[in-house]
């Protein structure tokens, strides 16, 4: 087996925390991160995370069982904080003895972190600002993921290169911090690890792996695309704050603009409240992503992708991608 001593030394804390060989998470990707990809990542020594997205508790129950049938290695479950059945989903994780839960999509609601820790699982959270990160870590979160705007899917406004400078100097010594967004090669991993990150999280680079069930047309769109094709959605109405989504430009991008106008009108007419308006937008994304990933409708569906998409050029087994990343990281560290 090839070894990566410098990389492993820098990843040691992160790998121990995850219980995996390498501190490389494959971030949850709705519809893509199901049992096959998740198990493949964990079997390759990384850490797979099931995307629960809009799943019902029953579906999550089956997905966890299905993943366990494919791997004996640890994996996590990503839950969206605004899911109306969040606490039922946590209960499903508890029943399965899930070891790590990632809370995404906003500030964890009261009691959620406690409910996860109560069955012994570790909690990973996202935080857009340093102040919030400190607060979440103080109130029980075990690790942090900082994700820059280069990433695919829902994004914040700040680039990874800036976030790491804001967060790592004050948090990395005492806390487990994983860095996500825009990582396409191991050289970049080396830089973040040297700055104190405990590990990294990638999505785009793994979305088209051989084991990913994404439709061949979805994968082909990724192989054709360059960094500049992965654009952030625009907000059309200042009263309707929508979280931007980074995806490959297509007809679906324009349809999202039309969808926002439609929802804003309902808001104006008083037909729906702000919470419902935002939920409608999120449901829109879930449906559009399914159309692209599962049905292969790359014209009208959502091709969520990060700017590292230009570095995704062919279908490769997860193990090869992990090995390439580790090799590049090790080489970069050896050059220092």
Member of 67, 78, 233, 278 binding ligand FMN (CB under 6 A): 78
Residues in the chain: 336
Member of 14, 48, 152, 196 binding ligand FMN (CB under 6 A): 152
Handedness of CA 96, 97, 102, 104 (dihedral sign): positive
Cβ neighbors of 131 (< 8 A, separation 6 or more) are none
CB-based contact 26:14 (threshold 8 Å): no
Member of 54, 98, 183, 312 binding ligand FMN (CB under 6 A): 183
The least CB distance from residue 50 to ligand FMN, in Å, is 10
The least CB distance from residue 152 to ligand FMN, in Å, is 3
Q: Which is nearer to ligand FMN, 30 or 267 (CB)?
A: 30
CB-based contact 74:43 (threshold 8 Å): no
Per-position b or e across 186-225, b if 16+ CB within 10 A of its CB:
bebbbbbbebbbbbbbbbbbbbbbbbbebbebbbebbeeb
Residue 199 binds ligand FMN (CB under 6 A): no
Cα–Cα distance measured from residue 195 to residue 146, given in angstroms and rounded to the nearest whole number: 13
Residue 305 binds ligand FMN (CB under 6 A): yes
Q: How many residues bind ligand FMN (CB under 6 A)?
A: 28
Binding mask 307-326 toward ligand FMN (x if CB under 6 A, else -) reads -x------------------
Tell me the residue nearest to ligand FMN as measured from the CB. 203
Q: Which is nearer to ligand FMN, 45 or 48 (CB)?
A: 48
Cα–Cα distance measured from residue 333 to residue 318, given in angstroms and rounded to the nearest whole number: 23
Q: Which is nearer to ligand FMN, 171 or 214 (CB)?
A: 214
Residue 288 binds ligand FMN (CB under 6 A): no
Member of 11, 18, 27, 328 binding ligand FMN (CB under 6 A): 27
Q: Which stretch binds ligand FMN (CB under 6 A): 57-65, 146-154, 162-170, 256-264?
A: 146-154
Q: Tell me how many degrees the CA angle 233-234-238 measures, rounded to the nearest 5.
A: 140
Q: Which is nearer to ligand FMN, 244 or 266 (CB)?
A: 244
The least CB distance from residue 79 to ligand FMN, in Å, is 9
Cβ neighbors of 100 (< 8 A, separation 6 or more) are 18, 47, 49, 74, 75, 76, 77, 121, 122, 123, 124
**How many alpha carbons lie under 13 Å from residue 4 in its C-beta half-sphere?**
23
Which parts of this chain interact with ligand FMN (CB under 6 A)?
27-30, 32, 51, 53, 78, 104, 147, 150-153, 180-183, 201-205, 207, 304-306, 308
């Amino acid at each position: 087996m090839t070894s990566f001593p410098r990389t492993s030394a820098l990843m040691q804390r992160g790998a121990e925390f995850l219980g995996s060989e390498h501190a490389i998470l494959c971030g949850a990707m709705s519809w893509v991160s199901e049992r096959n990809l998740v198990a493949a990542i964990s079997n390759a020594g990384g850490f797979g995370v099931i995307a629960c997205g809009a799943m019902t508790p029953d579906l999550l129950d089956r997905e966890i069982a299905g993943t366990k049938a494919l791997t004996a290695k640890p994996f996590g479950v990503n839950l969206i904080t605004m899911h109306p059945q969040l606490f039922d989903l946590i209960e499903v994780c508890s029943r399965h003895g899930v070891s790590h839960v990632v809370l995404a999509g906003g500030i964890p609601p009261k009691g959620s972190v406690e409910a996860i820790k109560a069955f012994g699982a570790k909690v990973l959270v996202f935080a857009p600002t340093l102040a919030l990160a400190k607060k979440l870590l103080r109130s029980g979160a075990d690790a942090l993921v900082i994700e820059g705007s280069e990433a695919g899917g829902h994004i914040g406004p700040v680039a990874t290169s800036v976030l790491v400078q804001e967060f790592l100097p004050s948090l990395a010594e005492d806390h487990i911090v994983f860095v996500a967004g825009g990582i396409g090669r191991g050289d970049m991993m080396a830089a973040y690890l040297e700055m104190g990150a405990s590990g990294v999280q990638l999505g785009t680079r793994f979305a088209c792996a051989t084991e990913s069930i994404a439709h061949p047309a979805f994968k082909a769109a990724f192989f054709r695309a360059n960094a500049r094709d992965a654009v952030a959605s625009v907000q059309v109405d200042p009263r309707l704050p929508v979280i931007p989504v980074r995806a490959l430009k297509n007809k679906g991008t324009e349809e999202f603009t039309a969808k926002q106008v439609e929802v804003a009108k309902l808001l104006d007419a008083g037909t729906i409240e702000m919470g419902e308006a935002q939920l409608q937008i999120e449901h829109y994304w879930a449906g559009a992503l399914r159309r692209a990933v599962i049905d292969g409708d790359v014209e009208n569906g959502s091709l969520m992708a990060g700017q590292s998409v230009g570095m995704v050029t062919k279908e490769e087994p997860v193990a090869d991608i992990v090995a390439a990343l580790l090799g590049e990281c090790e080489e970069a560290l050896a050059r220092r």
